[in-house]
Amino acid sequence: MTRLASARSAPLLVMAAFGCSPAAVDYSALQSAAVARQRGVGVDVAGEDEEVRALLAKPLTPATAARIALLNNPGVRAQVEAVGIAEADFFAAGSLPNPVVGGALRFDGHGGPEIEIEALVNLSQLVLLPARRGVAAAGVAAARAEAIGAVLDLSFEARRALFQYQAARQSLDLSRTVLAALSAEAHAADVLRESGAITELEQVQRQALFEEARLGFQAAELRVAAARERVNALLGLFGAETRWEATPELPRPPTKELPLDTLERRAIERSLDLAVSRERFRHAAEQANVARVEGFLPELRAGVSAERGEEWSIGPAVELELPLLYQGQGEVASAHARMRAERHVHTDIAVRVRAAAREVALRLEASRAAVAYFERVLLPLRRRALEQSQLQYNAMQIGVFDLLQARRDQVETERAFVDALLDYWIARTDAEQLLSGRLTASPAAVGAASAPVPVNGSRSRTH
């Protein structure tokens, strides 16, 4: 981890040494890092060279939705600007201290004025410069890991949103089928009531079922609209861009499943949240070292002093601030407290990653088994039941209401099958996100309260 952080900070060291201002955050590099982590666990990622408009011209899939979100969502770009803030701190920490120039002009009334000029450089800041760079480099590494995590979160959230939209669309189609069946029942009940074949109670019951189905259909339409707007928000779409189409149905589970027996171990190994916590701990440790040295190191300024009376005189000048009353105990204690906090956060994240891996493995296994059971047993049974009901109805062994009830039962089983499919794809997406290094709700934010103190500001011994 230290070697990796050093490699990442090398360009920043060059910028600091030559006095260049830090460039804007390379969002495409963060995208590539996030995409690489997804491809590393077999997640389908759309081609990086495709533009948003070209992707929207085709029916959306979970992969293309994730790609559009990475290209088009402005919110995640705002989040990754934290890398720019950390890089600016690194630049400031690596900058040479500015010289301090002072002067005095004295008049004694007996001739020309006396002139005194002094130029000093803070040597203590020069001594601490490498240590301050180490603190800032740890901050940059943590910010970069968090930014990659934000990009990953958006990518997988876009996938989930499209899966939910597809499921809502399928449920709406099934609700439309139920509504049509109950409309036919209500109409048949009206006809039979007029002929006296059924009671008014039976007619009213059929009408009530139809009205309830109409209300349920309206609720299903609302769920589709809400799911669609969620996709629009995650993909950063508005105006004509919101007229996209999606593949109409949830896909069936793939034949090859993720290796569930190694899910927990791989989730720990690839966890970005744990990497962020380690970098934050290193950041706090570096801050503690700097604060400890700074507390006992005298504030030393050295330079030259020149004075002109009747003639010029020049010589060295030194200022020394002795740490007699305060040795930076507050800064050291604060850094140690952050180290302890990050150690606890790291343990907490590890526990949560392991628990999440076990839980998602159970969900994935159970939902896949449920989908298979629907396909192998329940759906064929409902089809056979409807076929037999049709035969019985043709033979005048059952009435029209029994036939329509068999059709409604089949639709309800199909609706439950859609729910099982959605459960599977949500569980699989959660597992892929874990294997890409990110918890569904990132625990790295827990440590955000332990914000780093400035690494390049002058210390204060005034209390």
CA distance 249 to 257: 20
Least confident interval from 183-197, 226-240, 291-305, 391-405: 291-305
For residue 38, is it within any domain?
yes
For residue 155, is it within any domain?
yes
CA distance 38 to 333: 40
Chain mean pLDDT for the chain = 79
Residue that the structure tokens 């180290």 belong to: 339
For residue 458, is it within any domain?
no
Q: Are 421 and 167 in contact (CB under 8 A)?
A: yes
CA distance 132 to 349: 28
Summarised one tens digit per residue, pLDDT across range 386-439 is 899 889 888 888 888 888 888 889 999 999 999 999 999 999 999 999 988 888
Number of domains in the chain: 1
Q: What burial class does residue 295 get, using C-beta atoms within 10 Å of its C-beta: 0-12 exposed, 13-18 middle, 19+ buried?
A: middle
CA distance 433 to 453: 32
Structure tokens belonging to residue 155: 């990518």
Residue 346: give the domain boundaries.
Answer: 2-449
pLDDT attached to residue 418: 96
For residue 119, is it within any domain?
yes
For residues 371-387, give the mean pLDDT. Answer: 94
> Of 362 and 118, which is predicted with more confidence?
362
For residue 14, is it within any domain?
yes
CA distance 146 to 140: 10
Question: What are the CA-CA distances from residue 432 to residues 37, 153, 159, 421 (Å)?
Answer: 10, 11, 11, 16
CA distance 93 to 108: 45
Structure tokens belonging to residue 446: 């827990």
Q: Which helix H or strand E contains 300, and what residues bound it?
A: strand 299-308
Q: Are 91 and 21 in contact (CB under 8 A)?
A: yes
Q: Which helix H or strand E contains 119, and what residues bound it?
A: strand 114-122
CA distance 129 to 174: 68
Residues forming beta bridges with residue 359, ordered by sequence position: none
Would you give the end-to-end CA distance of the chain in angstroms? 38
pLDDT attached to residue 115: 78
**Distant-in-sequence, close-in-space partners of 353: CB < 8 Å, separation ≥ 6:** 267, 268, 271, 273, 274, 434, 439
For residues 142-152, give the mean pLDDT. Answer: 82
Q: Are 279 and 142 in contact (CB under 8 A)?
A: yes
Summarised one tens digit per residue, pLDDT across range 32-75 is 655 554 444 444 444 444 578 888 889 999 988 988 888 888 88
Would you say residue 381 has pLDDT above 50?
A: yes
For residue 391, is it within any domain?
yes
**Angle in degrees, 0-180, between the axes of helices 272-296 and 123-195, rounded to the nearest 10:** 150
pLDDT attached to residue 109: 63
pLDDT attached to residue 188: 84
For residue 23, is it within any domain?
yes
Q: Which helix H or strand E contains 100, and what residues bound it?
A: strand 100-106
Q: Which residues of 396-421 are buried (b: 16+ CB within 10 A; e: fewer)?
A: eebeebebbebbbebbebbbebbbbb
Summarised one tens digit per residue, pLDDT across range 291-309 is 777 777 777 777 777 777 6
For residue 454, is it within any domain?
no
CATH for 313: 1.20.1600.10
